[in-house]
Structure 1
Amino acid sequence: MLSNDDLQAMQIDDVAVIEVGDGCTRRDLPSNPGVRVWVVDMAPGAQWPYVDHHDTGESFYVISGEVIEGESRYGAGTYVAFAPDSRHRPRTESGVRLIGLNVSSTAFLAAGGNPDSITHHFHPTQG
């Protein structure tokens, strides 16, 4: 049986908003050690303010709207996973809400990840 100490539940829109760039916000969600989880909202016509690089990879699930990565478009219900040491700069024409996650370097290495791919330092807006 779960106790209140075993879980956290919240409405996403009640989580503090972090302004990342023009039309781009992030809400950091609580998670387990070694895993970073967030929700990103991008207004119609917005582009992430810089090229995003994650040494351990990154994944996101599109909740609503559409995100554009390069020339590929991903609508609601799409899960996208980037390989370790990849780069991307998302944009949107329609607006998008997505939930993303990545693992810390320590968790990545513990799971058998390649230590040679760990070169990234988070951009200051990533927390």
Structure 2
Amino acid sequence: GAKILIENQLKGIRKIAAAGVTIKVNTVLVPGINDDHIETIARTVSALGAVMYNIIPIIPQAKLAHVPKPTMEQIVKARKQASKYIQVFLHCQHCRADAVGVPGISEYSRQVYQGRIGARETFSHG
């Protein structure tokens, strides 16, 4: 299950980086679930060729409504751990998965999605 998914994700990062594509990896920070893995993830994806890491605090809802939202201290700690290995993306806390480019700097969503997504803007203030 999860092992195969992770292996495929890592293989994909390696292949895309080898092709010269800039890679930003997103991780949703879930206290008590993956907060102890952030540093390892950052080290691993950086070694494979990712150049930017975005740590997104979970928004507790639906089946995960019981999960506590990360505190600012937990977010800062995770970012500090990750920054030892990779540039940490600090532009916003809740970046959309359909964002293309770097929000506010190089926005390519309209060209890539050709108007097929409903949202006009990919920037989120979190």
Measured against the shorter chain, the TM-score band is under 0.3
Q: Which has the higher contact order (CA 8 A, sep 6+)?
A: 1
More strand by share: 1
